[in-house]
Amino acid sequence: MFFDAFENIFLIISSGSTDLGIIVWISLEVTLIATIIASVFGIIIGFILAITEFKFKQLIISILNTSLAIPTVVIGLFLYGLLSRSGVFGNFSLLYTKTAIIIGQTVLIFPIIITFVHSAIKAVDPGIEKTARSLGAGRYHTSLAIMREAKFGVMLAIIAAFGRGISEVGISMMLGGNIAGYTRNMTTTIALEHNKGDFSLALAVGLILLIITFGINMVFHYIQRINKR
Amino acid sequence: MYELKNILKTYGTKTVLSIDKLIIKDKNITAISGPNGSGKSTLLEILAGIQKPTEGQIQFKNKNIVKRKPGQVIIILQNPIMFNTSVYSNIAFGLKVKKTDKKTIKQKIEAVLVLVNLNGFAKQNARTLSGGEKQRLAIARALVLEPDIILMDEPTSGLDVQAKEQLKKTIKTIHKDKKIDFIIASHDTEFLFQTATDAFSLLNGQQAPVSVENLFSGVINANGNFIIDSGVEMTLSTFKRGKANILIFPENIVLSKHLLKSSMTNVFKGEVIKLIKFDNEIKVWVDIGIELCCKITPISLKKMQITIADNIFVEFKATAIKVY
């Protein structure tokens, strides 16, 4: 079966199959957009959570930590209720579109970014803030200095979030509807091909998915190694 | 330079600093001595303006400390924290904050690296430097901002003798050539004696009777006599000439109501201006043109019946003076 899968990958790639290309592209496009949206807000919120003290902060952190374990189908189901015709946002006709998957994946990975960034900022030596402030830095430059120290933690948060987004299936299936050439991505293809009994194609797509996430992680480690020199 | 009034710093119910009044003069390398936990670091951070006192006022150059310009007062923390980047970028940080142009940044960094003897280290990651090199980089990082004063917290922590010697030289050179003042908090009294030109002490968060007493700066003339800035002249036992600091241990000073016939070459007549009684010793301050602190036992005090405003002779040997 594995040999068939490998053979299929090479066959599909060498044949220049546009179908697989579209599937991969939809996966990347949707997850990249979701990761960017979640990162922009998640990094800011994670940073603020780490450097400020306020009432109910610990409660918020506990809720965020708990939300890391919410199954994707639960998020899918919840958003389905909101986006379906009878839902609050039904008028926008977002269900079974890429936008719906983007919204779902953003909700899924948002707490990952916040909690990872929060931990990364918390791990920065408090002396960095004092040193930056002593060297005349205001709030903006001090924040940048702290963020720079936590850059690998922040990068890890983004990569983990991207990995979680691209590998989820529940949200894509429930909110995207697995429409070929439109919302069908790698994970929904795997699920579909498995249901059809075409294990070799399912595995081929699965391997491409693994290669993509592995490649991103390798790039991250390479950057980290260069910076340590 | 600094004027502190009614400073109180508390963490919860614990008071870590309580100073009624403190004036730190400019044109000095001021030492803050005291044991661990005496409040030195807290005071330094308050002086740097990076920590606020719970109560009280701090004037820096006759203005509230919060009105200081960016980079005017710089603190170098114990085991200075380096940004996880190159030596060059570490020094450039403060200049970038000040929006200095790239060309000026480059020129200033090249010059300061030579001054602190770190030329050739520009591209190295700052966190890979040794303890002594980090201290000098921290000074360089501060120096490029042309501050009025640099505050250093336990700068000799973890340094070997050679690194301490180099740090001492760097501080003195910068103070002399760049006219930058230093306040150094440390429990390394030897380093403080050798580096500072003024000193005060902290004990349990309060300004204590100065434990770095009788530390004076002046010049050793061609005859080998030490002339303190105020004009008082003393006989020394040294071959050193020129600018120097001296330390006279209070316990090596003899007080007498009448002039003694002895081998002691430094004999002064002065007026008793302050008496502080401790459990087993008395500190007596005598004005001989400078304020000299002497230590005697309670028995001697009773026997001699010394009181404030008494005229008294102060005598000590040339060898009782330590020259730095």
Which CATH number goes with the domain that contains A98? 1.10.3720.10
And the tokens for B248? 């006279």
Domain count, chain A: 1
On whether the CB atoms of residues B282 and B299 are closer than 8 A, the answer is: no
List residues of B whose CB lies inside 8 A of any A CB: 45, 48, 50, 69-71, 73-77, 80-81, 83-85, 93-94, 96-98, 125, 141-142, 145
Kindly compute the dihedral angle of the four CA atoms of residues B249, B255, B259, B261, in this order, to the nearest 10 degrees: -60
Q: Would you state the pLDDT for residue A228?
A: 62
Q: Verify whether the Cβ–Cβ distance A135 to B141 is below 8 Å.
A: yes
Smallest CA-to-CA distance from B149 within B76, B51, B62 is with: B76
B5 CB-near residues (< 8 Å, 6+ apart): B20, B21, B56, B57, B59
User: Between A and B, how many residue pairs show a Cβ–Cβ distance under 8 A?
Assistant: 56
Is pTM beyond 0.90 here?
Answer: no
Give how far A150 is from chain B: nearest CA, Å: 10
Q: What is the pLDDT of residues B89-104, one digit of tens each?
A: 999 999 999 899 999 9
Q: Would you state the pLDDT for residue A205?
A: 86
Q: Would you state the pLDDT for residue B212?
A: 58
Q: How far is the C-alpha of A54 from the C-alpha of A61, rounded, in Å? A: 12
User: What percent of chain B is helix, strand and coil (3-state, nearest 5)?
Assistant: 30, 35, 35
Instruction: Tell me the backbone φ, ψ of residue B38, rounded to 5 degrees.
Output: -85, -10
Confidence band, pLDDT 50/70/90 cuts, at residue B248: confident
- Chain A interface disruption, residue of B50, B81, B89, B91, most A CBs within 10 A: B81
A2 CB-near residues (< 8 Å, 6+ apart): A203
Q: Would you state the pLDDT for residue A31?
A: 97
Q: Verify whether the Cβ–Cβ distance A135 to B50 is below 8 Å.
A: no
User: What does each C-alpha distance from B292 to B214, B216, B235, B269, B314 come to in angstroms?
Assistant: 6, 10, 15, 11, 9
Question: A65-74, A137-146, B271-280, B314-323: lowest mean pLDDT where?
Answer: B271-280
Q: What is the pLDDT of residues A149-165, one digit of tens each?
A: 999 899 999 999 999 99
**DSSP bridge pairs for B292:** B286
Q: Which of residues 115-174 of A touch B (CB under 8 A)?
A: 125, 127-128, 130-138, 141, 145, 148-149
Helices of type H across A84-198: 98-122, 126-134, 139-149, 151-167, 170-171, 186-196
**What mean pLDDT value characterizes chain B?**
88
Confidence band, pLDDT 50/70/90 cuts, at residue B195: confident
Domains recognised in chain B with CATH numbers: 2-208 (3.40.50.300), 216-323 (2.40.50.100)
Distance in Å from the first CA to the final CA of chain A = 43
Task: Confirm whether the ipTM is greater than 0.85.
Answer: no
Q: Which of residues 36-55 of A touch B (CB under 8 A)?
A: none
And the tokens for A81? 């209720």
Confidence band, pLDDT 50/70/90 cuts, at residue B110: very high
And the tokens for A92? 């926008």
Q: How far is the C-alpha of B174 from the C-alpha of B109, rounded, in Å? A: 15
Residue A131 with chain B: CB contacts under 8 Å? 77, 80-81, 83
Question: What SS3 string covers A59-86?
Answer: HHHHHHHHHCCCCHHHHHHHHHHHHCCC
Q: Would you state the pLDDT for residue A8?
A: 67
Confidence band, pLDDT 50/70/90 cuts, at residue B209: low
For residue B237, pLDDT beyond 80: yes
Q: What is the pLDDT of residues A102-111, one digit of tens each?
A: 999 999 999 9
Partner residue opposite A127 with nearest CB, options B48, B73, B77: B77
**DSSP bridge pairs for B76:** B152
Mean pLDDT of B53-74: 87
- Chain B interface disruption, residue of A128, A131, A141, most B CBs within 10 A: A131
Q: Verify whether the Cβ–Cβ distance B70 to A136 is below 8 Å.
A: yes
Q: How far is the C-alpha of B192 from the C-alpha of B171, rounded, in Å? A: 11
Smallest CA-to-CA distance from B109 within B120, B99, A130 is with: B120
Q: Would you state the pLDDT for residue B151?
A: 93
User: What does each C-alpha distance from B146 to A5, A62, A74, B149, B289 come to in angstroms?
Assistant: 67, 46, 59, 9, 36
Residue B96 with chain A: CB contacts under 8 Å? 141
User: How do B206-208 and B198-203 pair as beta strands?
Assistant: antiparallel
For residue B90, how many other CB atoms are within 10 A of its CB? 27
And the tokens for B208? 């204590």
Q: Verify whether the Cβ–Cβ distance B97 to A148 is below 8 Å.
A: no
Q: Would you state the pLDDT for residue A9?
A: 67
For residue B204, how many other CB atoms are within 10 A of its CB? 14
Q: What number of residues does chain B have?
A: 324
Domain of A117 in residue numbering reads as: 2-228
Q: Would you state the pLDDT for residue A168?
A: 95
Q: Verify whether the Cβ–Cβ distance A134 to B48 is below 8 Å.
A: yes
Query: Quick one: how many helices (H) and strands (E) in chain A?
Result: 11, 0
Smallest CA-to-CA distance from B230 within B282, B178, B186, B287 is with: B287
H or E element that contains B227: strand B225-228
And the tokens for B107? 């020129």
For residue B34, pLDDT beyond 70: yes
Confidence band, pLDDT 50/70/90 cuts, at residue B116: confident
Which residue type sits at A40? V
Q: Would you state the pLDDT for residue B276?
A: 81
